[in-house]
Amino acid sequence: MTGTRAAPWPLSRRSIWNPRGLPLANRDIVAIGASAGGIDILRRIVAALPADLAAAIFVVLHIGPSRSILPDILSDAGPLLARFAENGERIRHSRIYIAPPDVHLLVADGHVLLDRGPRENSARPAIDPLFRSVAENFGARAIGVVLSGALNDGTAGLKTMKHHGGIAVVQNPAEATVPSMPQSALNAVDVDHIASSGDLAGLLTRLVAQTAVPGAPLPAEPGRAESITVASEIAFEGGEAAPRGATVLSCPDCGGRLSMVENGSVVRFTCTVGHVHTAESFLASQAIEIERALWMAVRANEERAALLRKLQEDAQRAKRFGASKLWQERAVEYENHAKSIRELLTRGDFVPRIGSDTEST
């Protein structure tokens, strides 16, 4: 799509200045999180945004390490320039910064920071790290948006943004392709706006034009985004800066012991490495582990049965009929084991079912 793109101006952490040197205090940071079902709604939003939007937009879509053409999709959809964020670049208005594959998108002191830190909610890029860093750096100037997606990434981060004076916006779960993420945000956060896909662009345009009212005070010194952990997030909100206590649970990403962190109605589990899981994402990861282990059991039993069949044939040719019968009985035993486990897996009534939380772009 061709068209005039607005000349963007750089953003600082605490204020933004126009060419005449006058301070602007509008809500000029928009952080959007989406997962499964999010691409179409993102296209609808950017298609209806003005070319001179006085805000920078940050987008995290759960794409994992997969190759993505999301910048091309969003640039073609509307007048704003969309591209993968680059580490260290200055934040500017009228730009859409997209989290690249397999890295977290963060902000720090008016600049972009890309980080391959531990996954959160089994995702990298994840939504919560972006929302936390935006809240800590831009406070009441921020607008957080949670769109369609499975599980509940974005809920805790939106809560932190709200605490710091930001505006919380959620797509109407009733019309979301996958309603889990927006519904989770509604359940845990005092959301300011619930909007349909057709109304989100207009709502964001109006919110960006508003003067940002003072929210919670920002820290005296700029925080490095990689230090904005779950524990520090709670410290920002006046709570305990340390996990509440160790659990008997093991991190599905690294096997380390998990500690529970509570922030109101939001409960998460974090390990010493830094992996973070909500209860829902932890259960989903466990379901994947269970299924993987069961398929490994199918393979191991089938391979063992195949080896025993070979031993049976060798014994039969050597006329060692007693040994041949023994190998045959054991082969049948392992074949039956494999068959039983395979039936459990294909029936789907044993392993917890998890919906896909990724979308090809």
**Separation of CA 199 from chain center:** 24
Phi first, then psi, for residue 342 (nearest 5°) are: -60, -40
Q: Which helix (H) or strand (E) holds 329?
A: helix 321-347
**Separation of CA 7 from chain center:** 31
d(CA 79, CA 110): 23
3-state secondary structure of 104: strand
User: Which candidate in 28, 62, 111, 275 is catalytic?
Assistant: 62
C-alpha distances in Å from residue 135, one per residue of 101, 113, 225, 235: 23, 15, 11, 13
d(CA 11, CA 45): 23
Does residue 62 carry a catalytic annotation?
Answer: yes
Closest by CA position to 35, among listed 68, 60, 59, 62: 62
User: Which candidate in 35, 75, 122, 180 is catalytic?
Assistant: 35
Tokens of 184: 């989770």
Closest by CA position to 138, among listed 72, 70, 60, 55: 55
C-alpha distances in Å from residue 90, one per residue of 27, 56, 175: 18, 11, 36
User: Which candidate in 28, 115, 128, 153 is catalytic?
Assistant: 153
Does residue 153 carry a catalytic annotation?
Answer: yes
59, 93 in Cβ contact below 8 A?
no
Active-site positions? 35, 62, 153
